[in-house]
């Protein structure tokens, strides 16, 4: 799955990510290309914990961090982290780190298989 989103580095929480995204949209900043390589489905508690601390180390990121880079087409290669019952997911590009170093928020729909 490919698309365009606003990515930010070293964001602490979902609230900060939403604020940065809203600001980027208002300022009509440039969207960046992404390609989802992995889909990670968490339970509700895990997802809420993840959203409260993107900069914490997570095994589900560490296990695939070697894939989450940028390709030669300047696309963020990402994992889509989501949970049932939420209308949005978090794109994660770790760039070799075990935490969500670069993140974006996207609305979920039928294309995401949930």
6-27 burial: b if 16+ Cβ within 10 Å, else e: bbbeebeebeebeebbeebeee
CA–CA separation, 83 vs 85, rounded Å?
6
Measured CA to CA, the distance from residue 42 to residue 22 in angstroms comes to: 25
The single residue listed with the structure tokens 């209308």 is 87
* C-alpha–C-alpha distance, residues 107 and 93, integer Å: 17
Q: How many domains does the chain have?
A: 1
* pTM, full prediction: 0.92
Per-residue pLDDT of the chain (114 residues; tens, 9 = 90+): 889 999 999 999 999 999 999 999 999 999 999 999 999 999 999 999 999 999 999 999 999 999 999 999 999 999 999 999 999 999 999 999 999 999 999 998 755 443
> 107 lies in which domain range?
2-112
Q: What is the pLDDT of residues 16-27, one digit of tens each?
A: 999 999 999 999
CA–CA separation, 20 and 3 (whole Å): 19
């Amino acid at each position: 799955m490919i698309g365009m989103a606003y990515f930010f580095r070293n964001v602490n929480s979902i609230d900060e990510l939403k604020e940065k995204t809203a600001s980027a949209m208002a300022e009509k900043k440039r969207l960046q290309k992404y390609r989802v390589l992995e889909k990670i489905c968490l339970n509700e508690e895990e997802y809420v914990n993840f959203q409260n601390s993107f900069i914490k180390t997570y095994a589900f990121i560490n296990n695939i961090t070697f894939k989450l880079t940028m390709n030669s087409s300047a696309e963020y290669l990402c994992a889509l982290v989501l949970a049932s019952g939420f209308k949005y997911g978090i794109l994660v590009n770790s760039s070799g780190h075990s935490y969500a170093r670069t993140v974006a928020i996207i609305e979920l729909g039928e294309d995401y298989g949930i």
